[in-house]
Structure 1
Amino acid sequence: MTAQSWAGWYRDRHGSEAFVITVEGRQLHTRIRGVEYVGDSFDALAPAEGAALGDCVLEWDMPLPVLDTGGEVHRATLSCLLALRRPDTDLGVTLHYGGAGYSAGNNDGDFGAALALIQEQLPPGASLQAPFTVHA
C-alpha cells in the first residue's frame, strides 16, 4: 500500500507554518517545526519524547470519495480543523460534495464520530468511502 498525504497549516502562539500529514499503514506522521510526530489518531500525534501537541490549531483538506447508489464514486473534499488546547480538543469537519457542504464536529477530537454525523446528512444512498486505514 502506498502512503497517502495531505498538506495543511499548523498555527500556535509563535506563528504558522505549512505541514504535511502522511498515513503509512495505521500510523499518521507529520513534521512540525523540525520535530517528527507520530500517532494513531489526529489528536494523539506525539513526538518520540512523548509530549503531545498542545495549544495549537491544525487545518488541512483531504479527498474523501463518496459512493452513490449506482456504485459510482464521486470526488469530494473534507476540510478539517483540529484545535488542541489541552485538556480540551475541538474538531470541526466539512465535506464539500455535490455543490453542498455537510458539517459536523465534536469536542473530543473523535474523527470517526464526526464522519458518522456527516454520513447521516448525506443524500439517501450516498456513502463515505474510508480515506485511509487509521482509526482516528
Structure 2
Amino acid sequence: MSSESTEVWTGWYRDRGGAEAIVITVDGPQVSTRIRGIEYSGASFGALRAADEGGETLTGCVLEWDLPLPVVLDGVTEQATLSCLLTLGERVDLSLTLHHGGAAYESGIAGGDFEEALDRVRRQLPNGAVFGRRLLQAA
C-alpha cells in the first residue's frame, strides 16, 4: 500500500459465532480492523494479530470486502469492483474477482499474497487495460 494515504474499506467478518460488519483500514504497510471489540493489525491480511489478548493471530474466519476502482482501457476510464475473499485458517487463502464490463476476472486461490492474486487478475484483462488506482499498484 502507498504510505501516502490511508484507505478505508467496509466488509464482513464471519466465523462459527456469526457475522458482523467491519471496517478495514490500510495505512502504509499496516492493515487493521476491529472485530468484536478487539483491534487486529499486521503487515498483511494474513498476518493480522490482536493488539491485546496476547497478540493471537486472527484465524478460523473469513473476511470479505469490495473495492470500487477504475479500469482504464484505450484511454477510457470505467468503474469496476474488486471483490476480495480472505479465508484465515490452517492456511491463508485469498481470492480476488474483478467485475468489469460485464465480465468477472478471477485470481483463483493465491495463498494470501495480495499482489500475486492481483497479478493473476491483471493478466486476464484485455491488452492495454490497467487499474487506475494507486493502492492496487503497491498492495
Q: Which consecutive residues of structure 1, in runs of 5 or more, have no partner in the other structure? A: none
> Which residue in the other structure is 1:94 paired with?
97
1:6 counterpart = 2:23: no
1:57 to 2:66 alignment:
no
* TM superposition shift of 1:119: 0.5
Deviations for 1:39-70, whole angstroms, at most 9, x for unmatched residues? 22111111123211111011111123212232
Q: Distance in 2 between matches of 1:13 and 1:24?
A: 29
Superposed displacement of residue 100, structure 1: 0.9
Q: Matched residue of 1:76: which SS?
A: strand
Q: 2:21 is matched with which residue?
A: 18
What is aligned with 1:46? Answer: 49
**What is the percent sequence identity of the aligned residues?**
53
Who is 1:67 aligned against? Answer: 72
Q: Normalising by structure 2, what TM-score?
A: 0.86
Which amino acid letter does the alignment assign opposite residue 77 of structure 1?
A: T
Give 1:3 shift. Answer: 2.4
User: What is residue 111 of structure 2 aligned with on the other side?
Assistant: 108
Name the structure 2 match of 1:83: 87
> Would the alpha carbon gap of residues 10 and 41 (structure 1) be closer, same or farther in structure 2, given more than 3 Å must change?
same
Q: What stretches of structure 2 of length at least 5 have no aligned partner?
A: none
Q: Which amino acid aligns with 2:101?
A: G
Q: How many residues align?
A: 134
Query: Structure 1 runs of 4+ off > 3 angstroms?
Result: 133-136
TM-score w.r.t. the length of structure 1 is 0.87
Output the amino acid matched with 1:31. R
Q: Is the 8 A contact 1:28 1:134 kept in 2?
A: no
Structure with the greater relative contact order (CA < 8 A, sep ≥ 6): 1 or 2? Answer: 1
